[in-house]
């Protein structure tokens, strides 16, 4: 009995021991944003990190106050991302922590050269969150690190919200790695960036960022870009493949016989289905888009009610959406980037045919893939006034 009591006491004492490998929060510097650019010298990479300043993020402190920015940006150039991280660490008094990265931005030149090293680095770092969003900048990625976070505390929060709000794409590191492992293409948000000299933030011109479209990738290299309309269409066609545009709005115009007018439709439901059918000439891919819309604007010279033009509005919407999706897919074919990952669809349904096309799928997709797009739109309501 005494031995039993002694054993229980010893077990309880083990729970009182400290954590020998602990690190206090005030000993760490959390990286929230990472910005990757091509270095000035060939074969080098310019890495910038954005970290919050805890002493300026105190409760009750508002962004833009006299005490300055509540984040810091550090930039180093090296022959690899790992070397750049080490150089940054040498200049900091706290240990870098990469497990809280929210957004990664790559510069246009770096994307053109290829992002293989970045994806390999992310793959081999267990601390990197695979759900971190990745996007491309129109110029230098580090420039976007200095955007004015008017509605947020940190710039990376603004960039993260672009993806979380589903403006076009919500591409993550995981999405890129999965696409690359299956030799598929992928797309990510292509940002816009500029200054507003007439507006000031802490005495400096406001620097704003937005989403101007998407950037296409094939073989880990930039293969082209799409404008906002094409990006919205491609996002709808992608569905859950990183793209899921929220509340798309379309405006159509008609001039038929005695009727001339326009209408705007807000889609609060948009889905897509993809199928593949084998024919004597090879696989034919069918992409069917479905949506439910509400009419938010109607104007007609005959002053007719919107409900009287429901068939016309529906036809015009289907024609426009189908046309934009086809154009977007044609751009991906020119780039040889199978962003819709139709190759995986073929592999799942016809593995034997996929084995024949796997080795040269990028060329086949660009030159020979047959893709049929159809649209089915349903107008649910016409607003308070029909």
List, for residues 9-35, the tens digit of each pLDDT value.
Answer: 667 766 665 555 555 556 677 888 999
Neighbours of 206 (CB within 10 A): 16
Kindly indicate the confidence band of residue 349, based on its pLDDT and cuts at 50, 70 and 90.
very high
List C-alpha distances in Å: 346 to 37, 74, 156, 352: 36, 46, 38, 9
**Calpha distance 257→1 (Å, rounded):** 101
Neighbours of 259 (CB within 10 A): 14
How does the average pLDDT of the chain come out, rounded?
A: 85
All domains in the chain, ordered by first residue: 27-226 (no CATH), 245-386 (3.30.300.210)
Q: Provide the percentage of residues in the chain whose pLDDT is more than 70.
A: 86
Confidence check: pLDDT of 348 > 90: yes
Confidence check: pLDDT of 6 > 50: yes
3-class DSSP state of 13: helix
Tokens linked to 201: 């933030």
List, for residues 229-251, the tens digit of each pLDDT value.
Answer: 999 999 999 987 777 777 788 99
Tokens linked to 51: 């970290």
According to DSSP, residue 246 is labeled: S
Q: What is the pLDDT of residue 282?
A: 92
**Calpha distance 281→262 (Å, rounded):** 42
User: Which has the minimum average pLDDT: 6-15, 315-324, 327-336?
Assistant: 6-15
Contacts of 239 (CB under 8 A, 6+ apart): 271, 272, 274
Global confidence as pTM = 0.85
Q: What is the pLDDT of residue 355?
A: 93
**Calpha distance 115→47 (Å, rounded):** 13
8 Å CB contact between 364 and 333: no
Confidence check: pLDDT of 64 > 60: no
**Pick the residue with more confidence: 376 or 198?**
376
Q: What is the pLDDT of residue 13?
A: 66
Question: In the β-sheet with 282-300, what is the strand arrangement from edge to edge?
Answer: 249-256, 259-279, 282-300, 370-381
Confidence check: pLDDT of 101 > 80: yes
318 dihedral zone (left: phi>0; alpha: psi -120 to 50; beta):
alpha
Q: Annotate 105-174 with DSSP letters as a single string.
A: EE-HHHHHH--HHHHHHHHH-TTS-TT-EEEE-SS-HHHHTT---SSSSSHHHHHHHHHHTTSSB--BHH
8 Å CB contact between 73 and 48: yes
């Amino acid at each position: 009995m005494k031995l039993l009591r002694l054993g229980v006491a010893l077990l309880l004492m083990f729970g009182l021991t400290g954590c020998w490998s602990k690190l206090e929060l005030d000993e760490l510097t959390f990286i929230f944003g990472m910005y990757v650019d091509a270095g000035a010298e060939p074969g080098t990479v310019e890495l910038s990190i954005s970290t919050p300043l805890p002493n300026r993020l105190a409760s009750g402190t508002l962004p833009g106050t006299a005490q300055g920015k509540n984040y810091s940006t550090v930039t180093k150039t090296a022959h690899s991302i790992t070397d750049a991280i080490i150089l940054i660490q040498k200049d900091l008094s706290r240990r870098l922590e990469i497990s809280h990265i929210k957004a990664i931005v790559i510069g246009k030149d770096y994307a053109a050269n290829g992002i293989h090293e970045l994806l390999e680095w992310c793959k081999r770092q267990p601390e990197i969150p695979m759900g971190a969003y990745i996007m491309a900048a129109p110029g230098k990625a580090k420039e976007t690190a200095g955007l004015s976070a008017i509605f947020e505390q940190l710039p990376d929060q603004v960039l993260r919200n672009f993806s979380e709000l589903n403006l076009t794409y919500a591409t993550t590191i995981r999405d890129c790695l999965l696409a690359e492992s299956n030799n598929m293409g992928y797309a990510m948000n292509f940002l816009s960036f500029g200054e507003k000299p007439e507006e000031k933030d802490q005495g400096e011109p406001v620097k704003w960022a937005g989403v101007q479209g998407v950037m296409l990738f094939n073989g880990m290299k930039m293969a082209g870009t799409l404008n906002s309309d094409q990006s919205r269409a491609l996002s709808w066609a992608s569905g859950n493949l990183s793209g899921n545009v929220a509340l798309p709005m379309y405006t159509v115009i008609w001039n038929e016989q005695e009727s001339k007018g326009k209408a705007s439709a807000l889609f609060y439901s948009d889905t897509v289905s993809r199928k593949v059918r084998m024919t004597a000439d090879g696989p034919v891919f069918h992409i069917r888009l479905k949506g439910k819309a509400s009419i938010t604007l109607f104007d007609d010279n005959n002053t007719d009610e919107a409900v009287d033009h429901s068939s016309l509005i529906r036809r015009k919407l289907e024609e426009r959406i189908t046309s934009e999706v086809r154009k977007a897919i044609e751009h991906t074919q020119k780039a040889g980037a199978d962003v819709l990952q139709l190759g995986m669809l073929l592999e799942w349904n016809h593995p034997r045919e996929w084995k024949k096309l796997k080795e040269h799928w990028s060329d086949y997709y660009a030159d020979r893939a047959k893709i049929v797009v159809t649209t089915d739109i349903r107008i649910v309501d016409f607003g308070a006034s029909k």
